[in-house]
Chain A
Amino acid sequence: MSIETYKAYEKDVDFINRYMKAKNAAIGSEVDANSNVANKNIATMAPEIHKRSNINANRLWMYKRIKELYGKDMANEYIRQLEDHEIYRHDESGMPIGTPYCASITLYPFLVDGLSKIGGTSSAPHHYKSFLGGFINLVFAVSAQLCGAVATPEFLAYMDHFIRKEYGNDYYTKPEQVVNMVTGETIEDIVLQGFAQVVYSINQPAAARGSQSVFWNIAYFDKPYFEQLFEGFVFPDGDTMQWESVSWLQKKFMKWFNAERLKNVITFPVETLSLLNDGKEYVDKEWADFAAEMYAEGHSFFTYTSDSVDSLASCCRLRNGIQDNQFSYTLGAGGVSTGSKCVMTINVNRLVQNATKDMKLGIQKYNDWNSDVDKAIRSKVTEQVEKIHKYLLAFNSIVLEMRDAHMIPIYDAGFVSPEKQYLTVGINGLVEAAEYLRIFVGDNEDYRSFVHAVLEPIYEANKAAKTKEVMFNTEYVPAENLGVKNAKWDKKDGYVVPRDCYNSYFYVVEDETTSPIEKFRLHGLRYTDKLDGGSALHCNLDEHLSKPQYEFLLNLAIKEGTPYFTFNIPNTVCNDCGYISKHKLDKCPKCGSENIDYATRVIGYLTRVSKWSAERQAEHARRYYASSTSN
C-alpha cells in the first residue's frame, strides 16, 4: 500500500492542526460548534473529525428511507432542501441515524429494574446512597442514547422518597438533627451532600459525547401541578408521594444551587419551575412568592406557567381533548415522558424571501401587511410543512426500526415511549424575515399578522397529521449553531441578512427599544398561541430586580399568557482569583483584576462566554441587557 492511499485523510490531519491552535473548543469545531465543552483536548477533538462523515451517512440513510416511503422525487427534494439551506436537520453530525433527539423520562423503571434493562448491572436502588449513585449512572446512560437533553422532572420527588426511607417522613421538620455521631453530620448535611454528589458528577464531561457534559434538566412543581402529576402514584414499595417534604426539598435545592454557583460556573441542571395560574393569579401563592424571592436572590431558572393542569405531559395521565398544546420545550423539563424524536427547522428568512421573489414583488412595496404577502407566505409555509412532515415520518420509521431491533434500550425499559415524543418542526430566522418585509419587530398588528402567517399553517398541519402513533409540534428552536449558520449561508447566497446570527426570540436581541414588558408580550399568547411546542423568553437584564419587581413580571406573564421565561443577568467570573459575582461588573470586586469573564445563557444553558464560538461571542457583545429601571 502506498502513501497515496492515505492522502485522502490529509484534510483530517490539517483539521487536527487547526483544532490544536484554536482558542477554545467551540472555535476549533468546524461543524456544529457547541459551548457546552469546558476545555479543548484530545477527547473533544476526536468526535469533531468524524462529524462530516456522520452527516453524509445520515443523509444517505434518510434519502433511502424517503425514497422507499414517498418516491425518488421527494428523496431528492430532501437533499436539495438541506443543501440549499431551506431546512436544517439538527444533530446530523454527532450521532448515528435513528438516535432520538431529547426525552423527559420517567424514573419509575429505574426503581423497578435499576439499570439492568439499559445495559447496566445495578439492580433497583433500595437506599438513599444507591439511589444517588444509580441516578447519576442512569442520566449518563440515557444521554448516550439521545442527541440532546435528558430531563428528569421526578428527580427531587424520588430523592425525597429515599431520604424519608432513611430518616423518616418528618425529616424535613428536623434538618438539624445529627444522624452520624462520629462525624456530627445532620440530616441537612446528608441532603446537601446528595445534591453536590449528583450535580458535580453530572457536570463532569462525558467521554461518550465528545467530552461535553450531558444536557440535564430538572423540574420543580407547585402544589397543584405536583398533585395532578402524581395523583394515585405509588412507589414500588407501596410508599406514596408526600408534598410537604418534596416542597421543602425543592426549595432547599434551589437555595443550594444558587449559592453553589458562587463557587463554580455550573451549567446543569437547567431548571424549570411549573406554576399553575387561574388566569388572574398564581394558584399556589407560596411557590409564586418563592419564585420571586429566588429570582431576586440572583438565581436564574426557567418558569413555566399555564392555566391548565393538563398542560404538562405525564407518563400515566391521559390527555384530554382540551389540551392541544402540551408543553414540551426541548430545553426545559416540566412534563414526564415526553420529548422530541427529531427536529427539522425551517429557515423562515429564506422561505419568506423565496416566497416573495417567486411573486416578483419588490420589498419596497411592503410597508404594511397585506393580503398578497399573507397569502404567499401561508402558501409557501404550507408547502414546506407538508414536506417536512414526510421527512420527519421517514426519520420516525428509522427510530422505530431501531427500537424494534432493541438498539434504543431506553424504549425497551419504559423510560419513555416513542409515541410520547413529538416530531418537531423548528423555526429560525423569523425576526429576520419580518425585517426583510420592512415590518417593525415589536408589538404591532403587522408583526402579529406576519407571525401568524408563518405559524398558523404549521399549527394546523400538525393538528391534522396527528395520529395515535405520531404527534407533531413546532418550536422556536434555540439554534445555538443554526442561527449563525443560516445567517452565513443566506448571506453567501445573496439573501438579505440583517445580522450574523439569527435571533432565537420574537424580539431583536440587540434592540435597546424593546422593553422587558414588551418582550413578555411578544412571547405571550397574542404571538405564540399557534406555537404548539413553545419558545423561551430570555429577559436579558443588566442588574437583578427586587422581589416586588419580579412579582410584577411573574404576574405580567399571566396577563400576557407568556408560558416560558427566564431572566439573564450576566455573572462576573474573575480569571485571576476565581471569585464569582452574581452581578455584571467591569472588574473583580475581590482582587480588582480586570481579567474577567462573564457567565450567562448562550441559549438555554449557562456557560462562560469565553467558551462560546466566535460568532456567538460577537452576538453576546451586541446583546442588549436592559437596565433594571427601564419600563
Chain B
Amino acid sequence: MILYSTTTCPMCHMLAAKMDEKGIKYDKVTDTNILEEKGIMHVPILETDDGSRMNLAEAMYYINNLEGHE
C-alpha cells in the first residue's frame, strides 16, 4: 500500500500512526510534485495494491476492518 501525504498534514500523521499500530506495511510518498502528477489534491490518500484509492474516512474504515491486523 502507498500512503500519499505531506509532512504538514496532521490527519496524515494520525493515519500513519494507526497503520503502524496495526502493523500494516506501506510506503509513504510526500513529494508534492508526485502527488500533483497523480492528480491528488487532498491528503491523506491510501492506495491499495490494486490501485484503488481511499480518503481518510474510507482508509480508517478499511484498516479497522482488515483481517489479521487486530
B10 touches A106 (CB 8 A): yes
Minimum C-beta distance from A427 to chain B (A):
28
**A232 in complex: contacting residue of B14, B56, B61, B64, CB < 8 Å:** B56
- Using known A-B contacts A232-B56, A468-B32, determine if residue A417 contacts B41 with beta carbons closer than 8 Å: no
Q: Which residues of B contact A414 (CB under 8 A)?
A: 8, 10, 13
Complexed CA–CA distance, A414 and B8 (Å): 7
User: Is A232 within 8 A of B57, CB to CB?
Assistant: yes
CB within 8 Å for A318 and B14 given contacts A234-B56, A238-B60, A468-B32 = no
- The main secondary structure of chain A at its interface with chain B is loop
CB distance from A321 to the nearest CB of B (A): 8
Q: Which residues of A contact B61 (CB under 8 A)?
A: 238
A579 at the B interface (CB under 8 A): no
CB proximity of A414 to chain B, nearest CB, Å = 5
The one of B10, B32, B35, B64 that contacts A315, using a Cβ cutoff of 8 Å = B10
Report if B3 contacts A (CB, 8 A). no
Complex Cα spacing A231 to B41, Å: 11
Taking a contact as CB atoms under 8 Å apart, the answer to whether B56 and A318 are in contact is: no
Query: Which B-chain residue is minimally distant from A310 (CB atoms)?
Result: B41
Question: Cβ of B2: which chain A residues have Cβ within 8 Å of it?
Answer: none
Q: Are the CB atoms of B56 and A317 closer together than 8 Å? A: no
Q: A112 an interface residue at 8 Å Cβ cutoff? A: yes
Interface presence of B42 (CB below 8 A): yes
**B57 contacts A240, C-beta separation under 8 Å:** yes
B68 smallest CB distance to A (angstroms):
21
How far does the alpha carbon of A316 sit from the alpha carbon of B7 in the complex, in Å?
10
CB within 8 A of A318: which of B7, B35, B60, B64? Answer: B35
- Residue of B at shortest CB range from A108? B10
Interfacial chain A residues near B8, Cβ < 8 Å: 315, 337, 414, 417, 419-420
| Cross-interface CB contact of A316 among B6, B32, B57, B64, cutoff 8 Å | B6
A316 touching B40, Cβ below 8 Å: no
The interface bits of chain A over 222-233 (1 if a CB of B lies within 8 angstroms of the residue's CB, else 0) are 000000000111
Check B42–A108 contact: CB distance below 8 A. no
Whether A318 contacts B44 in the complex (CB less than 8 A), given A106-B10, A109-B10, comes out as: no
Determine if B9 is an interface residue (Cβ-Cβ < 8 Å).
Answer: yes
A323 CB, min distance to chain B CBs, angstroms? 11
Q: Are B42 and A317 in contact (CB under 8 A)?
A: yes
Interface residues of A in 34-64 (CB under 8 A from B): none
A236 on interface, CB distance cutoff 8 Å: yes
> B residues within 8 A CB of A109?
10
Q: Are A318 and B41 in contact (CB under 8 A)?
A: yes
A315 to B40, CA, bound (A): 14
Is A320 an interface residue when CB atoms closer than 8 A count as contact?
A: yes
Check if A233 sits within 8 Å of B35, measured CB to CB.
Answer: no
B43 on interface, CB distance cutoff 8 Å: yes
Q: How large is the interface on B (under 10, 10 to 19, 20 to 34, 35 or more residues)?
A: 20 to 34
Within 8 A of B (CB), among A396-434: 414, 417, 419-420
In the assembly, what is the distance between CA of A58 and CA of B55, in Å?
A: 45
Chain A proximity of B12: nearest CB distance (Å): 7
Contact present for B11 and A318 (CB under 8 Å): no
Measured CA separation A109–B32 after assembly (Å): 22
CB-CB under 8 A from A240, the residues of chain B are 57
The answer, among A231, A318, A417, for a CB contact under 8 Å with B40, is: A318
**Is B67 in contact with chain A by the CB < 8 A criterion?**
no
| Residues B6 and A112 in contact, CB atoms below 8 Å apart | no
Distance of B21 from chain A, by nearest CB (Å): 13
Among A231, A236, A316, A320, chain B packs the most CB atoms within 10 A around the CB of A316
Report how far A236 CA is from B8 CA in the complex, Å.
17
- CB-CB under 8 A from B56, the residues of chain A are 232-234
Task: Give the residues in chain B near A236, CB-CB below 8 Å.
Answer: 14
Contacts of A315 in B (CB 8 A): 8-11
Contacts of B57 in A (CB 8 A): 232-234, 238, 240
Question: Closest CB-CB distance, B25 to chain A, in whole Å?
Answer: 22
Partner of A417, one of B7, B32, B55, B60: B7
Question: Which B residues between 3 and 43 are near A, CB-CB below 8 angstroms?
Answer: 6-14, 32, 35-36, 40-43
Q: Give the contacting residue for B11; candidates A234, A320, A417, A419; CB below 8 A.
A: A234
Instruction: Tell me, in angstroms, the Cα distance from A417 to B12 when the chains sit together.
Output: 14
Give CA–CA (A317, B9) in the complex, Å: 9
Q: Is the CB of A318 within 8 A of B42?
A: yes
**Residues of chain A lying within 8 A (CB to CB) of residue B6:** 316, 318
Contact at A316–B44, with CB atoms within 8 Å?
A: yes
Q: How far is the CA of A419 from the CA of B12 in the complex (A)?
A: 16
For residue A320, which residues in chain B have a CB less than 8 angstroms away from its CB? 36, 41
Task: Enumerate chain A residues within 8 angstroms of B13, measured Cβ to Cβ.
Answer: 112, 414
7 residue pairs bridging A and B, Cβ less than 8 Å apart = A108-B14, A232-B57, A315-B9, A315-B11, A318-B42, A417-B8, A419-B8
Residues in A lying within 8 Å of B, measured CB to CB: 106, 108-109, 112, 231-234, 236, 238, 240, 315-318, 320, 337, 414, 417, 419-420, 468
Cβ-closest 10 pairs across A and B? A232-B55, A417-B8, A108-B10, A234-B57, A234-B56, A316-B9, A414-B10, A318-B41, A232-B56, A317-B42
Q: Identify 6 new A-B residue pairs, CB closer than 8 A, beyond the known A106-B10, A109-B10, A232-B56.
A: A108-B14, A232-B55, A238-B57, A318-B6, A318-B42, A318-B43
